[in-house]
Amino acid sequence: MREKPLSKIGDELLRIRRDVSRAVEGTSAPAGFGVDQELVTAFEAGPLSPADQRELAQQVAQQLPTHWSQPNTLAEAMTRFIDDLGGQRELIGWLDHYPGLPQLVARLYVLMGLLDQYSENPAVVTALREYRQREPYPAGLSGYLVPETDDETLAGLSFNIEELLGDGQQGKAVDLALATTDCLRRVAPRAAGLDPATDDMGEVMDHTHQDIREAAAAG
């Protein structure tokens, strides 16, 4: 994973996203998903074998998209594990070392973190709104975007990516992620013109796009 996208995200990546309470009402994490608490305890006590680390990374990657529905015992174990790593950003960096689902999930969460950040930037929102006046539904985003563009639009795409991952639809999550980065690469010059602080958004989206494509191909 390229360092620049990771450096741009916030520390809180596992959040209750837009409309999640309605979208997941009455649902729970898929059967069989979870984290072996004995592996977590062993990780805290000292280095795991490479095989055990890969297994733990796979388990963590499987359950992250359904973090909102973890039973208390699992949530507590995951909190200890993340704290032991140093935080959520460190968790993403750790997952990225394991090709396959862990690496893919890590890189998709970096994009989600970036989208959450850009959602809070008025210049990016304005640039996206202007772009959608010319192209209301950019390629690959039809069905995910509502007609109005506001400060929830990009955060909403984060929610959609996480929801697809939680449903086990990694291919669709990748397609949506790549379509999103393509759209923001087109928006980036106008955003930079409105706010020089966003002048690296195009570069960040380029790197993120490449990272996700590489992880998907390796998986």
CA distances from 89 to 69, 76, 96 (A): 21, 18, 11
**The overall pTM is greater than 0.85:** yes
Q: What is the pLDDT of residues 131-144, one digit of tens each?
A: 999 999 999 999 99
Q: What is the pLDDT of residues 171-203, one digit of tens each?
A: 999 999 999 999 999 999 999 999 999 999 999
Identify whether the C-beta of residue 165 lies closer than 8 Å to the C-beta of residue 173. Answer: yes
Question: Could you tell me where the beta strands, DSSP code E, fall in 65-215?
Answer: none
Determine the angle formed by the axes of helices 72-85 and 88-95, rounding to 10 degrees: 80
Token look-up 């955003």 returns 191
Measured between alpha carbons, how far is 173 from 109 in angstroms, rounded to an integer?
11
